[in-house]
Amino acid sequence: MVKKYKEIAKSARSRLIKMHAASGASHIASSLSVTDILVALYFNILRVSPEKPKDKNRDRLILSKGHAASALFTCLAARGFFPQTLLEEYCIDGGRLPGHASINCVPGLEVSTGSLGHGLSIGVGMALAAKYDREKYRVFVVLSDGECQEGAVWEAAMFAGHHKLDNIIAIIDYNKMQALGKSKEILNLEPLAKKWQSFGWAVKETGGHDIEAIIKTLKKVPFAKNKPSVLIAHTTKGKGVSFMENKLLWHYKSPDREQAESALGEIGCL
Amino acid sequence: MRGAFINTLSKLAKKNTDIFLLTGDLGYSVIEGFQKDFPRRFFNIGVAEANMAGIAAGLALSGKTVFMYSIVPFVTMRCFEQVRNDICIQNLKVRIIGAGGGLCYGSAGPTHHSIEDISIMRSLPNMTVICPGDPLEAELAVRSSENYPGPVYIRLGKSKESAVHAGIKGFKIGKGILINEGRDVAIIATGNMLHTASQVTKGLVRKGISACLISMHTVKPIDKDIIRSVALKAKAIFTVEEHSVIGGLGSAVSEVLAEEGKEICFMRIGLPDAYTKEIGSQEYLRSRLGLSANDIERRILEVYRKRIKL
């Protein structure tokens, strides 16, 4: 089973490398960072069905770090929400898949994102609707760490804690890097877990590339009764491609043909 | 108008269980009845308008019709990007209810005035912009917004506005209301200037000038038909609004007029492009900033007489 997830992640990474190489789009390292989290969600945790993408009871996933859309697209395609061939239309003239997550561009994609700090509030709104409608679905919101510098994230966090929204789960892709450098140096997020705890959230931490561990942790949500849950997933920006890992350049640059081949080789998908 | 808003919303909410009301911790003596009657569909989000707009989007994505309420600058500008990205880009059924349009919060000062909101909201794709002119228009705007597609901004006044209409037949979003017919001067007014504009119209008529008055409650989409078929027949056209002359009703009407390719006598009457340093009530500020009925009448007469001499 674990091997299966690893294979899916490997294939997702290879596809998104090809997408970025073909289109020249930015943020490949952000997508590689969040790939394992999305694989764990789409292939185990989320109660979603490609046959019924608008089912009322489906779990919702919001990729609040919308710039990692290529990872989301590869996972949705792999899960069967749309044909893999559509991935070739990522960030090209006249294509159907934009650089940031956009509602209605493909089935299964719930919310348009791209500007940071928006997803958690929208997730809170969905969680409130679920409570009102007495539906059992959960709302998962994937945030970046740099995103937690946005004040709106904490407005939403305070609200969810106050209202004891146990049907919302935030997952932080904590790769410790942001657009211009290390988060620790730009605007330190620590102590991150304590911040969320103090806002009334139940916090867990895990390795963000250990799919088995992510699944194991997210199997039991909420983490505490009457509390929203947050999983701080420790990740590596550019994970899987040695020359991209923890290198700021790959927040912007897309691989040329040679680099793409070398990256695919490292992943084992050449 | 706030009373008309909340009473109408409460009536709608009795039948439509998808209606939610959010407030950014404002609406003392306005929202309490709704809160009491529909506790599960009311949320005081706290002093956090960005979060309120995002939550409104999340609820709307889940099939709800959401009214979010606060004072104009806070519910439009503080959370502008959430309104743009979460609500307008996704084209959601969120109704942004701004209380205290224009100079309603007189002595509270420019932080609480709204002189740019129509302009800003009008620039957003998918957004409809309504500025009711009296309590009845406010009621009908709220009622009509229930099943109207996409986001809607409703710019209310405050309280105790005088009624202009005895009744309105066939109120429709995007359709101006012809209140008075006239051939010499056409006055197009929006929002809380409607009552003053109506006084001005009566004053002009008393002076023997045939004055037409149109209530342009919807600034976007602007009613091109009524501008072409009614206003353009007058010798001079004036817009009246409690908003900066930049970007509001005056701009919307002038955009239509400019593309008619005709020689037109036109003037925007509104607030100057400035944050006022004056302190005082709405009425006082209007008189200081050229928006009293007397000022408006004088300005219209000046322009009109010049026009007639030509």
| Domain harbouring A254, CATH code | 3.40.50.970
pLDDT of residue B8: 98
pLDDT of residue A269: 85
| Interchain proximity A133–B54, CB inside 8 Å | no
pLDDT of residue A64: 98
B contact residues 34-53, partner A, Cβ 8 Å cutoff: 40-41, 43, 45-46, 48, 50-51, 53
Determine the distance in angstroms separating the CA of A29 from the nearest CA of chain B, rounded to an integer: 24
Determine the distance in angstroms separating the CA of B55 from the nearest CA of chain A, rounded to an integer: 4
pLDDT of residue B310: 62
- CA angle, corner B190, sides to B188 and B192, nearest 5? 135
What does the DSSP 8-state code read for residue B42? E
Of B211, B31, B15, B189, which Cα lies nearest the Cα of B101? B189
Q: Which residue has the tokens 């490997």?
A: A10
Total domains present in chain A: 1
Ranges of CATH 3.40.50.970 domains, chain B? 2-155
CATH 3.40.50.920 for domain B177-309: yes
Is the four-CA dihedral B300, B306, B309, B310 of positive or negative sign? negative
Peptide bond preceding A222 in cis form (omega within 30 of 0): yes
Question: What are the distances in angstroms from CA A148 to CA A100, B54, B79, B84, B176?
Answer: 18, 16, 17, 21, 46
Mutate to test the interface with B, among A56, A128, A154, A199 (most CBs of B within 10 A): A128
User: What are the residue ranges in chain A where pLDDT is below 70?
Assistant: 1
Task: Summarize pLDDT for A152-208 with one digit per residue, the tens.
Answer: 999 999 999 999 999 999 999 999 999 999 999 999 999 999 999 999 999 999 999
Spatial separation of the C-alpha atoms in residues B198 and A239, rounded to whole Å = 68
pLDDT of residue B152: 98
The answer to whether B173 and B146 are in contact (CB under 8 A) is: no
- Look up the domain containing A73 and give its range: 2-267
The residue type found at B6 is: I
Spatial separation of the C-alpha atoms in residues B91 and B78, rounded to whole Å = 20
Is the four-CA dihedral B35, B41, B46, B48 of positive or negative sign? negative
Q: Chains A, B: CB contacts under 8 A, how many? A: 88
Q: Which residue has the tokens 């809607």?
A: B152
List helix spans (H) across chain B: 2-15, 32-37, 49-61, 72-76, 80-82, 117-122, 135-145, 194-206, 224-229, 249-258, 282-288, 293-309
Q: What are the chain B neighbours of A159 within 8 Å (beta carbons)?
A: 45-46, 48, 51, 55
Spatial separation of the C-alpha atoms in residues B217 and B223, rounded to whole Å = 10
Mutate to test the interface with B, among A118, A121, A124 (most CBs of B within 10 A): A121
Which tokens sit at A208? 């963000």
Q: What are the chain A neighbours of B16 within 8 Å (beta carbons)?
A: none
Ranges of CATH 3.40.50.920 domains, chain B? 177-309
Query: How would you list the strands of the sheet with B266-271, edge to edge?
Result: B177-180, B211-215, B185-189, B236-244, B266-271
Using a CB–CB cutoff of 8 Å, tell me whether B2 touches chain A: no
| Interchain proximity B55–A132, CB inside 8 Å | no
Peptide bond preceding A228 in cis form (omega within 30 of 0): no
pLDDT of residue A92: 95
ipTM: 0.96
Which class for A151: exposed (0-12), middle (13-18), buried (19 or more C-beta within 10 A)?
exposed
pLDDT of residue B66: 98
Spatial separation of the C-alpha atoms in residues B66 and A196, rounded to whole Å = 28
Give counts: helices (H), strands (E), chain B.
12, 12
Mean pLDDT by 10 residues, chain B (310 residues): 96 98 95 97 98 98 98 98 98 98 95 98 98 98 98 94 94 98 97 97 97 98 96 94 98 96 94 96 97 98 86
Residue in B40, B60, B82 nearest the CB of A118: B82
Instruction: For chain A, report the end-to-end CA distance as a whole number of angstroms.
Output: 23
Residue B210 CB neighbour total at 10 angstroms: 15
Average pLDDT, chain A: 97
Matching CATH number, B2-155, of 2.102.10.10, 3.40.1590.10, 3.40.50.970, 3.40.50.150: 3.40.50.970
| Interchain proximity B46–A129, CB inside 8 Å | no
